[in-house]
Every structure is written in structure tokens, then in C-alpha cells.
Amino acid sequence: MSKKRVLSGIQPTGKLHLGNLIGAIENWVELQGEYDCYFFIADLHALTSNYDDPKNLAADIRQATIDLVSAGLDPRKCVIFKQSDLSQHCELDVLFSMITPLSWLSRVPTYKSKIEELKAKDLSTYGFLGYPVLQAADILIYKADFVPVGRDQLPHIELTREIARRFNYFYGDLFPIPQDLLTQFPTLPGTDGRKMSKSYNNTIALSDSPEMVRKKVSAMITDPARIKKDDKGHPEVCSVFEFYKVFAKDGADAVAGECKKAERGCVACKKEMGDILVKYLEPINKRRTELLKHPDRIDKLLKDGAGKAAKVAKKTLAQAKKKMGLL
Ligand code: TRP
Ligand code: SF4
């Protein structure tokens, strides 16, 4: 039996960070051995909210590609490409736009919440409203069986299913109904205790130098009740402890015990975590250094990926056009 197909995308929003690694990319790296995987840089989606300031976009796309490959995505094991290289995504998006009721789009929960979150931007655009339709095209053009995503993306996957069903109902079966593969991982806190996110400026980037990683960890906020070293700690409210649970699972219980009994000071605890992270990022750093020695490989990799993706995308687009009477 042929392998099931997995597809996912990530917006190029600058340097990828530990939250992206734990929340998505490590999962992708695991899937690439088992499934027929397509992973892409969602540059058009980045434009839906950043259309007024694209000056860094080209550099960000490159950075995201370097980060993904350094983190372990292997172009020999999966197809890696950039969304805007595949015009078929846009064409299918237009076809889907014909059958997508406006009411479906305005009730997607991320629509209102994102507008609220990015108040300073004018997101009353056609492109932003259509964000999930383009995402449905991304997924369905490869007839993906599974879409690994975080919880925040579930409404988009649900809408994708609704568009697939509606298309199949109007024009006859073409699209399989994709399933989400929910990343089980809890969100990683950033250096300030809020969710790690580029927009909060609290990230530890995969490409941060070891010195930078150590410095950021040493500045992290810990249990606010621990003012003196012999104050008993509460690891459950400490972001550094969250890092232990992720990056030093086996040692986490012991750390919690020592913290609660005030047998471990925060300065030493953070220093140890700095070392753990530096070690964790070492293989990623190594691959990055190697990749950066051959910058032309990055363009080639995306071009090759686009070539492979196009084979599938062209076929599906032709089928959809035929069903809709265009061919
Ligand atoms: N919307 C996704 C995010 O912000 C990115 C994305 C675009 C995506 N197209 C996709 C994810 C298709 C999965 C499948 O994280
Ligand atoms: Fe957090 Fe470690 Fe300090 Fe405990 S000892 S509060 S786990 S940094």
C-alpha cells in the first residue's frame, strides 16, 4: 500500500525559535520517515497580514528554509518548497472562492481574534478574509490525508473539510477529507513567561549563538516568590521548569524536588538549563554552518522541491478544472 500523505506549512516570520521546534518542526522531522511528506513556507499567507511591509520577506523565506533544514527536515525524505512557487495553489484558491460562502469565512474564530490582536494593521482586506480558503487550496491540491498543526489551526482544517465536501457534492468526488494531526505538545513559554512568540519578542531562536542562548536563559523570570536562595520554590509556576520538562524530561522530577526544598538556586538552575539548550541546539547549529557554506544549495533545494510538488499540484488542478467545466 502506498504511504499516506502529510502536508503542513509554516509562515516565514523571521528566525524560527524553540517554540516552533517543539510545537511543529520536531513533529515534522519524525513524520518525514513514515509518510509521503510535503512541507512548505507559506509566504503568501505571510503577506495577508504583512502586505504593507514586505521588505524583509525574501530574507525571511530564506531564513525559514535554512532553519527547517538545519532542524532536520531532509530534502531526500520530504518535499520542501515555497508556496508562491506553485501558482496552482492560487488557481485552486480562486476555484474554491466560487463555492465558499462569506458567512463561513467571517465566523472562523482566528479571523476576528487576529484582527483584534493586530489592531494597528488594516486587515479589512479580501486577502485576509480569504486566508483559510488559500490554506484549503494548499492542503487539497496535494490531496493530503493528514495535516500536522497546532490547536490554533483546527478551525482552518475544519473549513478545509467543509470546502472539500462542498466541492465533492457539487462536482463529484475529487478531494479526500483531510484529518488534523494535532501536535500534543503544550506551548513553550518564552523568556518572559508568556507564550514563546515572535510578536512578544521573547524567543530563543534556533540560530542564536550559544552565548546568546545562555544570556537569554539567565535573564528568564522564575518563581517570583523566591527572593532569597533559601525561599522554597514553586516549579509549577516557573518557566525555566517548563523548559526542564521539555528539554531534560528525565531530570525534571529531581529538579522540582530540589527547588521545592530550596536545595537549588535559580541562578545555578538557569545556568544548567542554558547548557542543556546549547547542547540540544548543537546538531542544528552544525547543520546550519554546513548549509551556509553552500548558499546556492538553499535556492536549489527550493527549486527541486517546487518541481516535485508541481507534479502533484498540476494533476489535481487539472482534475478540479475539468470537474468545474473549464477543461
Ligand atoms: N496557517 C498556518 C499557520 O499559520 C500556516 C499554513 C498555511 C498551513 N497553509 C497551511 C498549515 C496548510 C497547514 C496546512 O500556522
Ligand atoms: Fe525555577 Fe529552577 Fe528557580 Fe526552581 S530553582 S524556581 S525551577 S529556576
Binding site membership of 273 for ligand 2 (Cβ less than 6 Å): no
Residue 50 CB contacts under 8 Å (≥ 6 apart), including other chains: 57
Q: DSSP per residue over 24-61, as a string? A: IIHHHHHHHHHSEEEEEE-HHHHHHHHTT-GGGHHHHH
Which residue's CA is the closest to the ligand 2 atom numbered 8?
A: 266
Q: Tens digits of per-residue pLDDT, 196-217?
A: 998 899 999 999 999 999 999 9
Q: Which domains does the chain have, with CATH numbers?
A: 5-188+295-323 (3.40.50.620), 208-289 (1.10.240.10)
SS3 132: helix
The predicted structure's pLDDT at residue 187: 83
- Residue pair 61/9 in contact (Cβ under 8 Å)? The answer is no
Looking at residue 184, its pLDDT comes to 80
Atom of ligand 1 nearest to the CA of 10: 5
pLDDT at 14: 87
C-alpha 45 – ligand 1 centre gap (Å)? 8
> Which residue's entry shows cell 494548499?
138
C-alpha of residue 61 to centroid of ligand 1, in Å: 15
Q: Which residues of the chain have pLDDT under 70?
A: none
The pLDDT value recorded for residue 108 is: 95
Q: What is the Å distance from ligand 1's center to 43 Cα?
A: 10
Task: Report yes or no: 160 and 144 within 8 Å, Cβ to Cβ.
Answer: no
User: Do 167 and 316 form a contact (C-beta atoms < 8 A)?
Assistant: no
Shortest-distance Cα residue to atom 5 of ligand 2 = 266
Contact indicator for 139, 88 with CB cutoff of 8 Å: no
pTM of full prediction above 0.85: yes
- Sequence-ordered list of residues with C-beta below 8 angstroms from that of 42, at least 6 positions apart, any chain: 9, 10, 11, 12, 83, 138
